[in-house]
Structure 1
C-alpha cells in the first residue's frame, strides 16, 4: 500500500470538513501551498476534481461527495488501529467495538461493561454512540462487533436478543391540562403535537408507537423528530409538544417536564443486543449471555 495516498486522503478529509484550505492547513499544522499541492496530486491520481474552488472557500464536487463517506470510515478505522497498536504494546490481547444508542449507555452498558472487564481485563473495548439504524448498518458492514439498539426482530444475518422491555408513558409540560392527571388514555392524545423518533433512526420503535395510535383510532400528529429519548424530553421542555417515552427512561421529574402513566398498555422492547451471525467473532455467544445475565431485571424499572 502506498501510504502517501493515505496521507492525501487525510488532507482531503480536512479540507472537506473545514470547507477552506487555510483553515484545513492550520488544523493539519502545515502551510496552505503544500496542502493545495497535495490535493491537486490526489485529484490527478483519481482523475477527477474533488473541490470547486471559490474566493469564499471550497465546496465538494459530486465526485468529492461520493468518496467522502468512505474516507471518513477509513479515518475512523485508522484511528482505532492506532489505539489497538498502542494498547497491544501495553498488554491488550484483543478488542471489541460496540455501537450503542444513548439510553443503553445509562441503562444496560454499565453492568455489561463491568462484567466484561472483570472476565476479560485485557480486552480493549471501543464504544461508539449510534442510533439504531446506523448501528445495524455498521453491524452488517462488519465495522462493529455488537450493538445495543431498539429493534424487535432478526433481519437476515443480523440477530437480536431483547434485554429491556418497558411501557410507554407521556412526557408533557407541567402547564398542560392533562398534567393534572395521574394517567392519560392514548386516545386523548389524538390532537396533540407529538415529538417522536424519525423512522430512519429506529424503524421498529417508530412503527410500534404508530401502530398503537392507529389501534386507538388516530394517526399521531408528528411535528418534531428527535434522535433520542432525552432529546424528545428536551423538545417537550421547550414547549414543542408532548412525547411518548419509555416509562423507565426518566427516573425523576425534569425542569419543564412531567411524566404521566399511559393507561393503554403498550409494551416495547426498548433495548436489545444485536450481532451479525455471519461475521460474529467466536466469543460473541458468551458476550450475549453476559449482556442478558448482567442486566437481568433491568426491565423491572419504576413505571
Structure 2
C-alpha cells in the first residue's frame, strides 16, 4: 500500500532542503509555515534523526539530511514520471519513452530520432533528461531512463548494450595568440609541454582515458590544470587563456573568435556519441529506437563508405 502521508512529508523535506528556509518552502508549497514545521518534525520523529539545523538565517541540512537528499530527489523524479505515465494513460497516450542525453546529442542525434519515432507512434510521449556520461549506466540499470545518449564505448557490463553513433577526429583548441595556432595541422607530440583543460574523468571516464592514451602514445602524459564538465567549457577556458584542449574537430564551427581549432597530424578518432540501453527490461519502444538508429547508421555507412 502506498504511504501517501510519507510521500507528503518527503515533498515538504525536499522543499525545505532546496529553499534552506521554512518560510520560503511554505510559500513554494502554498502552505503556511506551521504545518511545514510540523511535518518536518513528524518525519524526524518517524526516522529518529534530526534533518535540519534551524537558525535565524534559515534551515541547514544536518549530515544525515544531506545524505538522504539525493535519494529523496530521485524518488520525487520517479513520482513525477509515475504521474506523467498515469496522465498519459488516462488520455489515451500509447506510452512514455525517457531519454537520457548529454548536451551534444540534443543538437544532432535526438531531434531527428524523436521526429522519426513519433511518426510511427503519434501518441508517444518522449521525456528527455539531461545527463553526464558517468550517470548513463546507473540510470539505465535503475530504470530511471530507457535509452542513453552519451560518450560510451567498450565493455559496459553484462546487461548493457551500446552502439556508436557519432565519431570525430581529434583536434586541438588553442588561444588565437598561441604560436601553434599559425600551423595548419599540429603534431600531438608538440603539445607535450602545454597546460591542458581536460574533460573531467568522473563525467566521462572512457572519453578521458582515450584522450590521455592518445597523449601517451605520442610520448607524454598531459599536464591537466583544469577539469570541466563539457566540451564547450573546454573551449571557454582556452579562450580565457587557461590552457589548451583536445576536442572533436567538428567543434571548429562553433569556436569563438579568440580560439582556433587545428586538426592533429595524427588520425586519432574518438566516439563522441553512442546509444546505450539495458537488456534487462523488454520495451518495444526501446527496440524501435535501436532499429531506427541502426537503419540510419547503415545508410550513413553506405554513402560514406
The whole-number CA distance in structure 2 between the counterparts of 1:278 and 1:178 is 50
Please say which of residues 81-90 and 236-245 is displaced more in the overlay. 81-90
Please say which of residues 149-158 and 267-276 is displaced more in the overlay. 149-158
Describe how 1:269-284 pairs up with structure 2 within 5 A.
Answer: 269-284=271-286
CA offsets per residue over residues 179-206 of structure 1, 9 Å max, x none? 1111111111112111111111111110
Helix, strand or coil: the match of 1:53? strand
TM-superposed deviation, 1:280: 4.4
The whole-number CA distance in structure 2 between the counterparts of 1:42 and 1:117 is 43
Residue 262 of structure 2 is matched in structure 1 by: 260
Indicate if the aligned counterparts of 1:187 and 1:216 stay in contact, CA closer than 8 A: yes
1:130 aligns with 2:131: yes
Indicate if the aligned counterparts of 2:88 and 2:95 stay in contact, CA closer than 8 A: no
Indicate if the aligned counterparts of 1:111 and 1:294 stay in contact, CA closer than 8 A: no
The whole-number CA distance in structure 1 between the counterparts of 2:149 and 2:282 is 15
CA offsets per residue over residues 12-61 of structure 1, 9 Å max, x none? 00111111112212222222221111100111111111112223222212
Residue 45 of structure 2 is matched in structure 1 by: 44
Could you state the TM-score of these two structures normalised by the residue count of structure 1? 0.93
CA offsets per residue over residues 255-281 of structure 1, 9 Å max, x none? 321111111111111111001111242
1:62 aligns with 2:78: no
The whole-number CA distance in structure 2 between the counterparts of 1:250 and 1:40 is 55
Cα 1:67/1:253, change in 2 over 3 Å = closer
TM-superposed deviation, 1:282: 3.5
Cα 1:235/1:30, change in 2 over 3 Å = same
The whole-number CA distance in structure 2 between the counterparts of 1:94 and 1:238 is 46
Residue 101 of structure 1 is matched in structure 2 by: 102
Residue 300 of structure 2 is matched in structure 1 by: 297
Unaligned runs of 5+ in 2: none
The whole-number CA distance in structure 1 between the counterparts of 2:90 and 2:239 is 48
Residue 114 of structure 2 is matched in structure 1 by: 113
Helix, strand or coil: the match of 1:184? coil
Helix, strand or coil: the match of 1:259? strand
Residue 191 of structure 1 is matched in structure 2 by: 193
Residue 167 of structure 2 is matched in structure 1 by: 165
Cα 1:69/1:93, change in 2 over 3 Å = same
The whole-number CA distance in structure 2 between the counterparts of 1:214 and 1:30 is 59
Residue 152 of structure 2 is matched in structure 1 by: 151
The whole-number CA distance in structure 1 between the counterparts of 2:247 and 2:281 is 33
Residue 92 of structure 1 is matched in structure 2 by: 93
Helix, strand or coil: the match of 2:281? coil
Could you state the TM-score of these two structures normalised by the residue count of structure 2? 0.93
1:204 aligns with 2:199: no
TM-superposed deviation, 1:252: 4.3
Cα RMSD, aligned residues only: 1.8
The whole-number CA distance in structure 1 between the counterparts of 2:283 and 2:84 is 20
The whole-number CA distance in structure 2 between the counterparts of 1:114 and 1:293 is 15
